[in-house]
Amino acid sequence: MKYFNTEGSCKPKEHYMVNLDDRLGYIKKMLVDRKKYFVINRGRQYGKTTMLRALAEYLKDDYIVLSMDFQMMSTANFADEQTFAMSFIGYVEELVSSEKESMEIIHAEALQALNSLKNQEEKTIKNMFQYISNICRKSPKPIVLLIDEVDSASNNQVFIDFLAQLRGYYLDRENRSTFHSVILAGVYDIKNLKLKIRPGVEHQYNSPWNIAAKFTIDMSFSSVQIAAMLEEYEKDHQTGMDVAKIAEEIYRYTSGYPYLVSALCKYLDEEIPDREGFGHSGDAWTKRGLDEAVSLLLKENTPLFDSMVKQLDQY
Ligand SMILES: Nc1ncnc2c1ncn2[C@@H]1O[C@H](COP(=O)(O)OP(=O)(O)OP(=O)(O)O)[C@@H](O)[C@H]1O
Ligand SMILES: [Mg+2]
């Protein structure tokens, strides 16, 4: 049986969730198919990882998708250019080492790249990109690169150099193969990176990421989308709730902030029915139950709200 999830990204088979298909279709058509490079830049718990994973799945028939998470790389991996170049190629090799037929060709290529770079005296990001370019050229399908949690890298000079190479190849894509589309996700806006890294001299440099397309998709949930999720829940549980009304109320409290939507639903499903004054789940999924859930949420999530407020300060 499915449940409402508030820990980490949501999976369609395990969790009640807002359906993302419309957004995924739009992102594919308007951005990925058009070879765009862009950043998904939203606050904590805004559904970025959930969206990236769903997107990877959605794109996999037409593309080879490399899904990375920079949180999986340790600080040491960013220590210097050599280490980063080796780690990055190593990561790529690991990602394409699956059994799938479409991966075989590029796996061989990635392994070769890894070995060549290992043996090269200059393990620079520039050299690494030449190998990446080979992988992209030989790939049977265009390669889309997704990187989640880019913030873990963003204070590093090597990451700036990496972005600069991405940009260089992007601009020269007619002549040299490279990633078809690149999607980075994080909390902070990468365009402002150089300000952090080289204070005072920013005007001398082009932002390494000034090629990025705008990502304007609203990632919050509308009351109609929330209602569709509740509809599915209602089919399984028959609480007798007024779905449209409860969805609207949830929206009113949360403005559709993904974590808050799921968190309120989780309380209504798992905790409110057991509280005094509520006999069963039919009592919980009401305006009264929702008020109770909101006060629980406010009581129990102070650290998250603190961080949300801090993020708002930064925008
Ligand atoms: N499609 C969805 N439907 C319902 N709830 C969702 C959905 N996407 C995200 N959420 C809610 O938001 C929470 C956070 O999702 P996710 O981990 O994808 O966000 P994130 O932006 O990657 O967070 P972080 O910035 O902490 O990495 C989930 O645990 C879930 O409660
Ligand atoms: Mg995430």
Residue pLDDT, tens place only, 268-314:
999 999 999 998 889 999 999 999 999 999 988 777 776 666 655 55
**Ligand 1 contact, 152 CB (< 6 A):** no
Query: What pLDDT sits at residue 315?
Result: 47
Report the nearest atom of ligand 1 relative to the CA of 4: 31
Return the percentage of the chain with pLDDT > 90, whole number: 76
What is the DSSP annotation of 101-116?
HHHHHHHHHHHHHHHH
Å from CA of 15 to ligand 1 middle = 11
Identity (one letter) of the amino acid at 196? K
Å from CA of 49 to ligand 2 middle = 4
**Mean of all residue pLDDT scores within the chain:** 91
Nearest CA to ligand 1 atom 6: 258
Contacts made by residues 273-278, CB under 8 angstroms, sequence distance 24+: none
Nearest CA to ligand 1 atom 13: 259
State whether the Cα torsion 239-242-244-250 is positive or negative: negative
> Which two structure tokens, joined as six digits, stand for 80?
């210097």
Q: How far apart are CA 46 and CA 54, in angstroms?
A: 14
Residue 182 Ramachandran class (φ > 0 left, ψ -120 to 50 alpha, else beta) = beta
Query: What pLDDT sits at residue 310?
Result: 63
Report the nearest atom of ligand 1 relative to the CA of 187: 25
Q: How far apart are CA 55 and CA 146, in angstroms?
A: 9
Lowest mean pLDDT among 229-233, 261-265, 303-307: 303-307
Ligand nearest to the CA of 10: 1
Query: What pLDDT sits at residue 204?
Result: 46
The whole-number average pLDDT for the span 32-38 is: 97
Tell me the range of 70-79, 102-111, 253-262 where mean pLDDT is highest: 253-262
Instruction: Work out the angle at residue 42's Cα, subtended by the Cα atoms of residues 304 and 141, and round it to the nearest 5 degrees.
Output: 130
**Ligand 1 contact, 16 CB (< 6 A):** no
Query: What pLDDT sits at residue 231?
Result: 98
Return the percentage of the chain with pLDDT > 70, whole number: 92
For residue 203, what pLDDT band results from cuts at 50, 70 and 90?
very low
Residue 79 Ramachandran class (φ > 0 left, ψ -120 to 50 alpha, else beta) = alpha
Query: What pLDDT sits at residue 201?
Result: 52
Identity (one letter) of the amino acid at 268? L
Q: Report domain extents, the chain.
A: 21-204, 223-314
- For residue 187, give the 3-state DSSP assignment: coil
For residue 101, what pLDDT band results from cuts at 50, 70 and 90?
confident
Q: How far apart are CA 12 and CA 10, in angstroms?
A: 7
Query: What pLDDT sits at residue 308?
Result: 65
**Ligand 1 contact, 179 CB (< 6 A):** no
| 40 φ/ψ angles, rounded to the nearest 5 degrees | -95, 110
Give how far Cα 158 sits from Cα of 8, 78, 79, 230, Å: 28, 7, 8, 45
Q: How far apart are CA 259 and CA 267, in angstroms?
A: 12
Å from CA of 138 to ligand 2 middle = 31
**Ligand 1 contact, 47 CB (< 6 A):** yes
Nearest CA to ligand 1 atom 9: 47
Class of the domain covering 21-204: alpha beta
Nearest CA to ligand 1 atom 25: 44
Give how far Cα 54 sits from Cα of 7, 10, 13, 21, 188, Å: 17, 9, 12, 9, 22
Å from CA of 5 to ligand 1 middle = 8
The whole-number average pLDDT for the span 3-31 is: 97
The whole-number average pLDDT for the span 177-206 is: 73
Ligand nearest to the CA of 148: 2
Judged against a pLDDT cut of 60, whether residue 233 lies above it is answered with: yes
The whole-number average pLDDT for the span 128-155 is: 93
